[in-house]
Every structure is written in structure tokens, then in C-alpha cells.
Amino acid sequence: MAMVERFDLLFSLGKFDQCNLLIEKTTTMGDNLKNQWIVSCNMISSQFMSTYVKDNISDVKTKPNQQYIKEQQTIISQIRSAPLNMAQLQLELSALYNLCFIRIQTENVGCLYDHQFLQIIKETLIRVIGQQDWRHCGLHQDTTELLFLALQQAHDDRILSPLVSLCCLWIVVNCRQTKTDSVMQLVDKCVTLHGLKNLELPPLTLLPLSLILTGQHYIDTPSVTDIVYMTAGIVYFRKEDSKAKEYLNQIESPEFKGYTAYLKACQDYYSENYVEVLTTLAIDHTDMTSRLKALHCHLFGLALSKLEKHQCAIQKFREALEHDFSFLLPLYHISLEYRSLGMTLAELESLNLLSTALQNGDTKPTDYSQDMFTQITHETNGEVTLCQVLYTLACRCSQLNMYEDASQRYLDLLVYLNDTSAIQISGNSLVRVPRIQSIYFEAIKCLHDAKNYNDCVAVCDQVLSCLPSGSQNSSFSFLNQSEIDQMSCDTSLTGIFDINDIEPDQLEGASSQEGSKRKRQHSAESKRKDTECDSDAMVLLYKADCFVLLDKIETALQCLDKYVGKIPFSDDLGKGTRPQQQIKRRRLDSSGEESSQLKDTLPVNDLQKLASSVYCHLGVAVATRGQNKDALHFLRISLRLNQDALYNHAVVLWKDNKRQASVDWCQGRDIETVSDSFHLSGLLRQKQNKLR
């Protein structure tokens, strides 16, 4: 068996170390230049693949890949220096393809848009075009256009195989950069080429493009035809479903069948054809990895869930976990199915298990730029992060009034957010996480509701140290917008318009609108500052309320002193006025609340309600110390913000032997005390006993 054939066999089997030994044993100094180029390129390819397979992608970048790239560029330069013929063009295109492959896998995809590197690609393509009809081509032309021209002029089968592989690689690069529209014509040209099945493979071994398409290197290398159809199917995926399915259906390689079935099922799922999803995925395929089997079961479960077959969906999600437990997204969807079934404890147990698995597991975040299949199916199989799970678990516990559990999850989440070495917020796009500032405010409220006042005060202090009115010594600032955008899952779209799109009449009125635009900008800036002040005030109020409930009145008063200038008093509430239709006699129910159908409907914002509650608690706490005068002062502040404190105010007046004042105060708020005096007296006595 010839050395090249033995090398190809060992390379396809993934025995790259043996490839290196074979080259070292059979290489002689007497070989001609062509053989030396082939041997050198194959040596680089086998060494690169040996390193790539043994190490993960992040480690590969630290290996001597720059040395591989330099050696490959040197070989290309040597080939170009020799007299031009088809055999040399075949080697040059093959070496150029391998060079692009190595750079894509070891560097950022954008490296191929580097000006100097583009020059290398264009020079080779111009040589291919010029060899056919000596057409004048320049380096100023677009690379995609040159590739298209090269395909049109390439009639020799010897250069067609590496040229088509190079085109597919360029198409993949543009798809990763979301520049799919620019290469559609090139895709269609590759698909319409004749004779791809019988192409002669070059003597120089091409690196497997399947590694970029699906992330796998196969023993039986897929044909050039299947590579082209797979590339075309990926390009048209979720853009033109009919074309994508047409190309995917023509793939014959069994190694690709599992991937094509999943892609077709995904398109049906997005089109809400859930029965078609079940039909497509019901067919068993060989040569599927454990991860691909898990993906099939997971998508099958999603379709069953949409058909409201929740128990069957749970079973499929469990099968997915059995195939690959490092793929934890099915466990999250199991919790959603339990929620749909109303099984709250099972739902929380699933989320807790998922949280534990993410904390203790050795799972690494998926790099969605590794292969195109993973990238384009990210919406259905994107991994959830620990941040997303902790936030979901905290919210669910809070919604179920399980404040103790919710507060603990919020604390775990805050600890995770402050561990900047391991933080990863963005994950599956279907699981939303708000801005970090909102998470902190939710945590403060939950800790307060859970009566975990000491931890609530600690979190308030951390927030106040980051807000503009606080000190700027914290390394974690909420209002650093770039940091917020980087760490938040929420995205915002900004509209961009061209001045040429504006109508003439709009341009005429532009100058007159300039002043109003400035006013709007000033108004937006003012609104932003008001929001910051509200955030500062809210945190101070929660902190003060915690100190009141911890019986640290003096410390609470110090917090309220910082807030007193920001009290949003309502003039209507202060004067006790209300719309004419609301002036009715109101009666008290057995719990001391007003009847719901007769409640005052004046708008009171959340900040007013919170401030009213804090001052009400403060008034009650001071009243228990016998300081009725101070208690009345705080309760009247509470009343000006929200009338819910009316009853405590009346009780304090009653306790201070100002019974007529208590009755007058109630009558002034349209509460009938004559016909219902016995009920009112009992209520006030009950409140008085609580204050003792």
C-alpha cells in the first residue's frame, strides 16, 4: 500500500500519532519538491489533529498553532514560486484550505477577514481563474465573488474538490458572522455543480470539514456531495424551510442522518407542526453520539409538551438525561412539566437537583462557535446556567410564599454574582434573567418578607455602596452600563435610519423640532435621575424598616433622616380630598379594613406605600415605649402617604385619652362612628391591646 493511502486510512481512523510516525519513517531527502510539500502538509495536519483531539478547544489555542500556520504559509509560498500547472494548483488550494481550517479552529472566526490573510486567499483564487481564461482579476474584488468566479471557471476535477471544500469553509465562516445573505449565491452554485460524487481526492489530505459542521470526525469521511448538501441545509435552516429540507433529504452519509433528522424536526417544531416532529424523530438512526441521542429525546419531549402530553414529555426528558447527563436542559423542562401538572414539590425538587448538578458537576459552558449544528440549534438545546436556575428557583419560591427558601436562593445567587471568576449569566435564550440591579432589589424584598432582617440590612448596605449617592469604592457597580449589558440576558434593539429615507417635508420641520428634541433628551435624563433616586430611597426604606423591626429605633431614624427629603407626599392625601363620587360613608369590616367596594381609589405608588408602612411600624414601635407624642408624629407622616395607618393613629389617640380626637379623626375621613360606635370601640380596644 502506498504511503499516501496508508496515511489517509490512519487519518480517517483518527490514529494521528501513527500518521506522524509513518511520515517520519518514510520521508527521505531524495523526494521531489511535490512529495516534500505533501509530506510537510500532512505532517502539520496530523500533528494539529492529534493536539486537537487530545485537548479541549481552549487548550488548543495555547499550543504551537502559530508555528503550524507559519509553516503552512511557507509551503504555500514555495508552491507559488514553482511553474504554474494544475497539479500545483491542486496542492496550493488544498494547503490553503487546511490553513484556513486551522485558523478558524484555533482563533476567532473573524481572523479570515484580516486584510493580509485575505490577500493570501485572493492571490490563490486569481491564479485559479487566470489559469483557465487569463481573465484580469484584482485583489480589490470581494472574496465571495472571486470564489464564485473560480467555481465557474474550474473545469478540471483535480482542483474542484479542494476548491469546493474551500467554498464550503468560507460559507460557514460567513454564517457564523451572520452574513448568510452574502453567500447564498455561492451556496446555490456549489449545489448545482455536476460530478461531485466522482471527484478525485487530492494527494494532500484535507482536514475534515465535518468537524466544523457537526463537531465530529468520522471514520468514514463523508463525500464532498454530502458536505455540500449539509452546508446548504445549514445555510437555509430557518430561512427557507423548503430548500433546507430539500438539501438535507439528499444527504446519504449515515453519519449525517441523525443531524439532518434533528434539523428537519427543529424546522417543524418552529412551524408548530408538532406531530411531524414526532414522526421525524421516531425513526432510529445509527452512528449517533450520546449527545445527539439526548438532543433527539429532548426535542421529542418538547413536542409532546406542546401537545399537552406532560407525563410522556417527562419520560422523554428522562431518557435524554440517561443518554447524556451533562446535557442538563431536559431537567429544567421536567420542572416546567411538573408546574403544568400542578405538582409544586416535584417542580422545586427538579430545580434543586438541577442547581446541585450545576454547582457540583464538572460541566463546562458550551462553546457555540465550535460547530455550526450547535450554533444554529442553540434556541432549543442551549444550556441553562447556574444563575438562570437560581433565579428561577428563587422566583418560584417567592411566588409560592415560601420566603425562607426564596431568601436562601437569593443569597446563593448574590454570592454567585459577586464571584466574578466564575460568573456566567447568559445561557438558554428562553430563560430570562433581569438586570443585576433588579435581582438585588427583589432579594431585598424577599429577605424582608422572610423576616431575615440582618441579611436584608447587609444586602441593602451593599446596594447603597454601589448607587450614585453612596460611596464609589465598590468594585461591583450597578450603574456601569457596559457591565450590566455584558452580564444581563436581556437585549435591546436600537433602530438605525438613513437620512436619505426621510421625506422632504420632514427635513423642513427638523430645525423647528430641534428644540423639542433637546427638551425630550433633558426629560429622559431627568427621568433617569429620578429612577436612581427612587432606587436609593427604596433601599433606605427597607433598611430602616428592618432596624425598626429589630427594635433599633435610633439607627432606623438615622436611615430615615437620609430619606426625609425624598418623601413623595401626595397633596390630595395630605388634604384628605377625593373625587366627588368617592365621598361616601365608609364602614369597617371585622378585620378593621375598609370594605373593598368602598375603598379610596386615589393612586398611591409603591414607594409611598413602602414609606407609609415604615413610618407606621415606627409609630407603633415608639407607642409601645409610651412615647405617644412621637408615635402620633410618625403615624401622621404615614397617613399623608397612605391612609392604611388610620387605625393605628386612632388607637394611639384613644390610648392617650384623646377619645374625642380619635372619633373626630375617623369622622374627618368619612368613617361613620355613631351608628357603628360599638364596633369601632371594640376594634380600637383590640388594637390598643396589641400595642401593650
What the chain holds in terms of domains, given with CATH numbers, is 1-207 (no CATH), 237-383 (1.25.40.10), 403-489+530-566 (1.25.40), 607-692 (1.25.40)
Contact 90, 82 (CB under 8 A): no
Which three three-digit cell numbers place residue 267? 424546522
pLDDT at position 578 is 39
pLDDT at position 262 is 95
Alpha-carbon distances, residue 538 vs 114, 416, 526, 565, 653 (angstroms): 51, 24, 18, 13, 30
DSSP state of 206: P
Contact 355, 390 (CB under 8 A): yes
Coil, helix or strand at residue 586:
strand
- Tens-digit pLDDT profile for residues 163-217: 999 999 899 888 877 777 778 888 888 888 866 766 767 788 888 888 888 888 7
Contact 374, 428 (CB under 8 A): no
More confident residue, 491 or 2: 2
pLDDT at position 5 is 62
Average of per-residue pLDDT values in the chain: 75
Burial pattern 478-487, b for ≥16 Cβ within 10 A else e, equals beeeeeeeeb
End-to-end CA distance of the chain: 101
Rounded percentage of the chain residues whose pLDDT exceeds 90 = 26
Burial pattern 591-623, b for ≥16 Cβ within 10 A else e, equals ebebeeeeebeeebeebbebbbbbbbbbbbbbb
Above 80 in pLDDT, residue 116? yes
- Classify residue 363 by burial, with Cβ atoms within 10 Å: 0-12, 13-18, 19+: middle
Alpha helices in 289-402 (DSSP H): 290-306, 310-323, 329-340, 344-360, 372-376, 378-381, 386-399
CB 154: neighbour CB atoms within 10 A? 21
Alpha helices in 550-570 (DSSP H): 553-563
Q: Give the residue-averaged pLDDT of 554-578.
A: 63
CB 416: neighbour CB atoms within 10 A? 18
Rounded percentage of the chain residues whose pLDDT exceeds 70 = 64
Q: Give the residue-averaged pLDDT of 312-329.
A: 94
Q: How confident is residue 519, by pLDDT bands cut at 50, 70 and 90?
A: very low
Q: Per-residue DSSP letters for 172-205?
A: HHHHHTT-GGGGHHHHHHHHT-S-GGGPPPPSSP
Rounded CA separation 254/277 (Å): 20
CB 299: neighbour CB atoms within 10 A? 25
pLDDT at position 280 is 94
- Cα–Cα nearest to 464, from 563, 547, 540: 540
Rounded CA separation 519/502 (Å): 22
Contact 479, 468 (CB under 8 A): yes
Which three three-digit cell numbers place residue 423? 460568573
Rounded CA separation 193/432 (Å): 45
Among 62-66, 96-100, 114-118, 673-677, the range scoring the smallest mean pLDDT is: 673-677
Beta bridge partners of residue 594, listed in sequence order: 588
Question: What does residue 457 show for φ and ψ, rounded to 5 degrees?
Answer: -65, -40
Rounded CA separation 69/80 (Å): 17
